[in-house]
Amino acid sequence: MLTSIKFGLVFKVAKYVFVFLAGMSVGAYLTNLIAADYAGLGSIFGGLLFVGATLMSGNQISSSH
């Protein structure tokens, strides 16, 4: 039982890490189209935006059940 709890926790953390990395790549790409000098800042902002959106959608799904 403890193993399944650990696996579930690892899966939750890995999901947010993946979402953050996806957001970073999208944010960097979009920022690079506008201003290449700010691509690093855009990647961090994009990553945080994607994680925030995932958290918001997760809260809506869990509250509806």
Residue with token string 């953050």? 20
Cβ contact 25:42 at 8 Å: no
Confidence grade of residue 59 (pLDDT, cut at 50, 70, 90) = low
Q: What residue ranges do the domains of the chain occupy?
A: 13-53
Q: Is the pTM of this model over 0.95?
A: no
pLDDT value at residue 63: 47
pLDDT tens column, 2-53: 777 787 888 888 888 888 888 888 888 888 877 777 777 888 888 888 888 8
End-to-end CA distance of the chain: 24
